[in-house]
Structure 1
């Protein structure tokens, strides 16, 4: 079953965050992860949620999503993200 990591990011250091963006794509490949949404404009249709930078990642399974998030390959990028932004990450399973 596919899984998605939904990320709401508030970038605090845009220059440093560019380094994060450069590293992330390669870290996803070993886990068959891919970007579904990567920034871009958002529009609240209901409620008052005002996300910063919204990102959605797709993985073949929740296990692969968690393995990517905790992997040594993602660790350098994750450290940069944590320095250059604040974020909320949510793992959700897809439907069959």
Structure 2
């Protein structure tokens, strides 16, 4: 069953965040994942949205998504992102 990782991001250091963005795609691909969207700005149609960027990843299974998030490669990318952005990660199985 497919699983999605949804990420709300507020960027505090664009240069450092760009380095993170360069590292992440290979880690996602290694676990069978793909980017569904990587967008900014977000247009609010209803309600409130207080984040700068929205990212959605799709993985074949919840287990693959979790393995990606916990992988050595992604943990390194995450360390590069440290101090460059605040992010909330959500895992949803469809």
TM-score, scaled relative to structure 1:
0.92
Structure 2: gaps of 5 or more residues: none
- Structure 1 unpaired stretches of 5+: none
- Which residue of structure 1 lines up, in the alignment, with residue 63 of structure 2? 63
Contact 2:5 2:92 in 1 (8 A): yes
Residue 50 of structure 1, CA deviation: 2.8
1:66 counterpart SS class: helix
Paired positions, count: 94
The answer on 1:53 being equivalent to 2:53 is: yes
- The aligned counterpart of 1:13 is 13
Task: Give the structure 2 partner of residue 37 of structure 1.
Answer: 37
Say if 2:41 and 2:52, in contact at 8 Å, map to a contact too. Answer: no
Contact 1:17–1:84 at 8 Å: present in 2 too?
A: yes
